[in-house]
Amino acid sequence: MIDKIIDFSLKNRLLVCLLAFFISVVGMVVYRQMPKDIYPDLNAPIVNIITTNEGMAAEDVERLITFPLESLLNGTPGVTRVRSESTTGESVVTVEFDWGMDIYLARQIVMGKLDLLLDELPTGTSRPTLGPVSSRMGEIFEFAVTGEGVSPLELRSISDWQIRYRLLGVQGVSFIVNLGGFVKQYQVFLNPNMMKHYDIIVKDVKEAIEGSNRNFSGGMILKKNQELLIKGIGKIQSTDYIGSSTDTGTNKTLHLVGQGAKEIGNYLFAATLIIIFVFLPLLTIEGIGGRMFRPTAFAVAAALFGSLIINITLQPVLMSIPSITATIWWN
């Protein structure tokens, strides 16, 4: 079979060269359009569930929030593993699905399960939210915000309200985690004697602050050819706000080239085929190992197969060209 391929290639040199050129051009176009990544995708689809209950002890978070969530999600179709981490006031449950599961279908399945548990969570627990679509290898950049004479509170505020939102506008950025510093907050210290004097309770103060901490629209005023918008400013911005609310020779040359190519063609074909078979078992590896080694094995096997085809088709044709030129010059 190899001899027939070599004979066909030498008899149809122009056709072989045109096919090789066409395949090379197509390969270059496809290569430019292919997605390229340094690291293979090592991620099984993962969904993170974040639930908070401020002030709750870690053991209570584990018992009242994390464990019910884990029990609910274990056995869900496509789920291979459920992991969790409980800290003071926060529960993070990680649900891992089978390889190949669409991440958005996985998130939809988890959301459907969470609706069954909302009424059973402790009082004061936030609605469970799903983390962003990201990967194990998604952490790509760390930075520090520093400034001479600037307090940690101000640095954290700059990071939370300015830098974070600008970075989220960058294409490909899915999530940003801010750590360190002090989160800005307004604290109200109540005087029990004054509360008793005005006959109010803590709930009244809480509702008054929550109700005043918002901006609202007041419509507009028409004045001649102008429309003046009215906006009520109630959003808390400081403590004050809270306080206030061919020829013969050529043929002979082709024959000699063909004989030489046939002599080594069978051995070259067998040797290359053996190397390709060596990489084939790697294509059957599952899990993270398969994610790491399958692309490499496929690339090497495909490259070897391509070189095998070139060795028995294009290479004999290219070898014949200098020999033909030399024969014509000698004649």
Q: Which of 134, 157, 173 is the last residue of a domain?
A: 134
Is 29 contained in some domain? no
User: Do residues 255 and 292 share a domain?
Assistant: yes
User: Do residues 167 and 199 share a domain?
Assistant: no
Quick one: which of 180, 188, 132 has its CA closest to 157?
A: 180
User: Do residues 102 and 171 share a domain?
Assistant: no
Is 270 contained in some domain? yes
Is 35 contained in some domain? no
pTM: 0.47
Of residues 211 and 298, more confidently modeled: 298
Is residue 331 over pLDDT 50? no
- The distance of Cα 103 from the centroid of its chain, to the nearest Å, equals 10
- Is the CB of residue 328 less than 8 Å from the CB of residue 249? yes
Quick one: which of 130, 132, 85 has its CA closest to 110?
A: 130
- The label of the residue with tokens 């004989």 reads 259
Is 21 contained in some domain? no
User: In the prediction, which pLDDT does 2 show?
Assistant: 75
User: Do residues 262 and 320 share a domain?
Assistant: yes
User: Is residue 154 classed exposed, middle or buried when 0-12, 13-18 and 19+ CB atoms within 10 A define those classes?
Assistant: middle
Is 22 contained in some domain? no
User: Do residues 56 and 112 share a domain?
Assistant: yes
Domain hosting 71: range is 46-134
φ, ψ for residue 212, nearest 5 deg: -90, -10
Is 18 contained in some domain? no
Q: CA-CA distance, 131 to 49, in Å (whole number)?
A: 6
CATH of the domain at 67: 3.30.70.1430
Q: CA-CA distance, 308 to 5, in Å (whole number)?
A: 12
User: Do residues 281 and 265 share a domain?
Assistant: yes
- Is the CB of residue 246 less than 8 Å from the CB of residue 260? no
pLDDT confidence bin for 327, thresholds 50/70/90: very low
Q: Tell me: the pLDDT tens digits for 116-151? A: 888 888 888 888 888 877 665 666 778 888 888 888
User: Do residues 264 and 296 share a domain?
Assistant: yes
User: Do residues 158 and 83 share a domain?
Assistant: no
Element (H, E) at 226: strand 226-232
Is 30 contained in some domain? no
Q: Tell me: the pLDDT tens digits for 57-116? A: 888 889 899 999 998 888 888 898 898 988 888 898 999 888 888 888 999 999 888 888
Q: Which of 134, 158, 174 is the last residue of a domain?
A: 134
Is 281 contained in some domain? yes
The total number of structural domains in the chain stands at: 4
- Mean of pLDDT over the chain: 79
Quick one: which of 187, 232, 195, 226 has its CA closest to 211?
A: 232
Give the amino acid at 47. V
- The label of the residue with tokens 């939102």 reads 165
User: Do residues 297 and 230 share a domain?
Assistant: no
